Amino acid sequence: MNMAMPSWFDIIGLSPDSQEDEVGIKQAAENVKALIDQEVKNGIPSNRIILGGFSQGGALSLYTALTTQQKLAGVVALSCWLPLRASFPQGPISGVNKEIAVLQCHGDCDPLVPLMFGSLTVEKLKSMINPANITFRTYSGMMHSSCIEVIFLIYSLLAGYG
pLDDT tens by residue, 13-29: 777 788 888 999 999 99
Partners of 106 in the β-ladder: 138
- For residue 100, pLDDT over 90 is answered with yes
pTM above 0.85, yes or no: yes
Per residue in 106-154, pLDDT (tens digit) is 999 999 999 999 999 999 999 999 999 999 999 999 999 999 999 999 9
Please, which residues have CB within 8 angstroms of residue 106's CB and are 6 or more apart in sequence? 78, 79, 80, 113, 115, 117, 118, 119, 136, 137, 138, 139, 142
Q: In a 3-state reduction of DSSP, which class is residue 137?
A: strand
Tell me if 14 sits within 8 A of 113, measured CB to CB.
Answer: yes
Give the span between the Cα atoms of 106 and 80, in whole angstroms. Answer: 7
Q: Pick 106 or 158 by higher pLDDT.
A: 106
Q: Give the H or E element holding residue 76.
A: strand 74-78
Partners of 27 in the β-ladder: none
Which region among 11-20, 35-44, 80-89, 120-129 has the lowest average model confidence (pLDDT)? 11-20
Indicate which residues carry an active-site annotation: 55, 110, 144
Tell me if 64 sits within 8 A of 77, measured CB to CB.
Answer: no
